[in-house]
Structure 1
Amino acid sequence: MGDPRWSVEDHMRGKPAGSLELYRSFVELLDRCGPYELSPSKTTITFKGARRGFAGARPTATGLRCYLDLQRIVRDPRISSVSPYTTSLFVHHVTVTRPDQLDEEFAGWLGEAYAVGQGAHLAR
């Protein structure tokens, strides 16, 4: 899946150890939710559920840039922007720069996004 010219390893190459650790922590939180597929592209590593992509992440020089597709708008200092994707989905762009920002509240958002990947947004 994804762009065959890009891999997860391409996104890791040359990134600081702290950024790579944030990515690994993100994936560990996501692993708690259930199975998913990876779809790396030039811009991000997308995580896909049974129905659709629901989150993405990529290590940067200063931390981790993520997005989460949620069925509601969440306001938090970690969230740099929220945009409507459909009438029932909102894309949240998140910047993580410290391990403590990947807390249980963030894990809850990941769980909500994972449910979207499984089709929860279609039950309305």
Structure 2
Amino acid sequence: MSFQAYLDNIKAKTGKTPEDFRAEAKAKGLTQYGELMSWLKTEYGLGHGHANAIAQLIIHNAADKLAKVEEATGLTADDYRALAEQKGIAGYDDLMTWLKGEYKLNPGQANTIAQLILYSGEGTAPAAGKAAQVDPHFAGKKAGWRATYDALVAAAGQFGDDVALAPTRSYISLTRRGKKFAILDPATAERFDVGLKLKGVAPDGRLEAAGSWNNMVTHRVRLGSPEAADEELVGWLRQAYEASV
């Protein structure tokens, strides 16, 4: 779905254009992301993806940034989305690195493109993760970990409606508003790795330092059986989620 088609869906649902939302937000004195999201969801019944798109347009003047990016690179937001899908780049951090490195976008431009890639697709809830990208992780002998993965995703989905999946070829990220807070990786038939972004938390017991395993997270928990995906692990996932604001 193109970004314009996404905006058309919002207009069909609410009868309002981005300019209408911007004018109304200004009249109400709404300028912060959190209050804009709450207003858009409560008053207009928008889902997280739709609300995020409008909030980005209001706060970051995304329309002007997109025009400047297209002028400088010749690529639209939809072009970047297609390229990201081809390359298997899905998480916020990975998108930012790619956009700034390969296309020399400044942080504001890269953030706008990354947010639109992440939240103008088919859905943002964990269940909306693309099966074609998730299923290969559980092929063959790793199939035994699928129930564990599903249970962890379901638990994370209870944290808030801003939790989304970002599958890549290497692992599946859990993100909040586009920011990665955890990694789910069925590494082998005998081990399932969970990466957690918990800055400032000392490693303790099975909550190991991630070290060189993955520099996108700070800690790793190695599961040797489905039973190891317990309440303690879900608690760490929640802690990482809450710290990702």
TM-score (norm 2): 0.41
Give the paired residue count.
115
Give the letter aligned to residue 231 of structure 2. E
Give the letter aligned to residue 8 of structure 1. V
Bigger Cα Rg: 2
Give identity over the alignment, percent: 27
Which structure has the highest strand share of the two? Answer: 1
Q: CA deviation at 1:100?
A: 2.4
Q: Corresponding residue for 1:74?
A: 203
Distance in 2 (alpha carbons) for counterparts of 1:97 and 1:61? 9
1:29 aligns to 2:158 (yes or no) = no
1:8 aligns to 2:134 (yes or no) = yes
Q: Corresponding residue for 2:230?
A: 103
Does structure 1 retain, via aligned residues, the 8 Å contact 2:164–2:174? yes
Write out per-residue CA displacement over residues 85-124 of structure 1, whole angstroms, 9 at most, x where no aligned residue. Answer: 9xxxx6111111222222221111010111133x1xxxxx
Bigger mean CA deviation after superposition, 10-19 or 25-34: 10-19
Does structure 1 retain, via aligned residues, the 8 Å contact 2:191–2:222? yes
Distance in 2 (alpha carbons) for counterparts of 1:64 and 1:19? 7
Bigger mean CA deviation after superposition, 98-107 or 39-48: 98-107
Distance in 1 (alpha carbons) for counterparts of 2:85 and 2:196? 20
Q: Corresponding residue for 1:62?
A: 190
TM-score (norm 1): 0.74
Q: CA deviation at 1:14?
A: 1.9
| 3-state secondary structure, aligned to 2:166 | strand
CA RMSD of aligned residues (A): 2.9
Does structure 2 retain, via aligned residues, the 8 Å contact 1:3–1:42? no
Question: Cα distance 1:32–1:41, how it changes in 2: closer, same or farther (>3 A)?
Answer: same
Give the letter aligned to residue 184 of structure 2. A
Give the letter aligned to residue 38 of structure 1. L
Q: Corresponding residue for 1:48?
A: 175
Q: Which has the higher contact order (CA 8 A, sep 6+)?
A: 1
Does structure 2 retain, via aligned residues, the 8 Å contact 1:30–1:110? yes
